[in-house]
Amino acid sequence: MTSPTTQPGPAIAPGLMRRFLLRTTLWLAFVAAILFGAAGTLDWPGAWVYLLWSVAISFGGGFWLARRDPALLAERLGSLVQRDQKNWDKVFMIVVFQVWFAWLALMGFDIRYGWSRVPLAVQLAGFVLLCLGGYLVGLTFKANSFAAPVVKIQTERQHRVIDSGPYAYVRHPMYSGVLLITAGAPLLLGSWWGLLAGALFVFLIGLRAVLEERTLKAELKGYSDYAAKVRYRLVPYLW
């Protein structure tokens, strides 16, 4: 998805900030419950590092958006199923979150039963991939004020195409960042099975990128020309 360059917006409404703080806190607590519940132990250093990274990314990114682009923060806090959202994407979002929860639980069970033995150096490499993925997502938010979590054309916000920032290199840089996170998380958490299962996310993200582009080419003026200029969807020189 592409958009105009982000401009500083008005001060965020107190109600929206309260919703951000509450939702983010509950979300992180839920993630922790899945991981440690499936693992059956709190003695999991990789999970604690992952959660600390998640806290930094979630709260740091949210406060940054609150100052820079509260309209985008409001979009990011929207429901996963929305009125203007494409029907196929409503199904996609429900499916992908169920798969994601199962993925977290799988990695917890991997730790509980000792299925994997991941060297410390590889776990550190996973953390580096997490940070790179988070940075790329941040660059996407900086360039794209319309980076909604759902597929829709935001006509009321004058949605249009740009090709600056990471969009000059790939058409879906947020998805590229998510792929890095998908690879980094299981390595940091010490789960080869989680890394293998992450291949399903690669397929789902690729599928969504293709379907999303059909919507953008049909409904967003100038997107076809942009897609012809920027050839790659997710990985430069590959796809």
**Confidence (pLDDT) at 83:** 84
**Predicted confidence (pLDDT) at residue 15 exceeds the cutoff of 90:** no
Average pLDDT of every residue of the chain: 92
Residue 36's CB is within 10 A of a number of other CB atoms, namely 18
Q: Where are the domains of the chain?
A: 14-229
Dist CA 54 CA 134 (whole Å): 9
How big is the CA angle at 143 (ends 92 and 67), to the nearest 5 degrees? 100
Q: 159: which residues sit within 8 A by CB, 6+ positions away? A: 3, 146, 153, 220
Q: How large is the average pLDDT for residues 71-77?
A: 90
Determine the pLDDT at residue 216: 93
Per-residue pLDDT at 160? 87
Helical residues (DSSP H) of 69-191, grouped into ranges: 70-76, 87-113, 120-143, 173-189
Structure confidence at residue 2 (pLDDT): 42
Q: What is the mean pLDDT of residues 2-23?
A: 68
- pLDDT of 118: 96
Would you identify the CATH topology of the domain 14-229? Four Helix Bundle (Hemerythrin (Met), subunit A) (1.20.120)
d(C-alpha 178, C-alpha 130), whole Å = 9
pLDDT, tens digit, 9 for 90 and up, residues 98-118: 999 999 999 999 999 999 999
pLDDT in tens, 48-59: 999 999 999 999
214 pLDDT exceeds 60? yes
pTM, two decimals, is 0.89
Backbone angles phi, psi at 16, to 5 degrees: -65, -40
Per-residue pLDDT at 3 exceeds 80: no
Mean pLDDT score, 37-65: 97
Q: Inform me whether the pLDDT recorded for 4 exceeds 50.
A: no
Give the percent of the chain with pLDDT over 70.
Answer: 95
146 closest CA partner among 174, 120, 182: 174
Of the pLDDT bands very low, low, confident and very high (cuts 50, 70, 90), residue 177 is very high
How many CB atoms are located within 10 Å of the residue 25 CB? Answer: 13
The pLDDT of residue 158 is above 90: no
Report the pLDDT averaged over residues 183-188.
Answer: 98
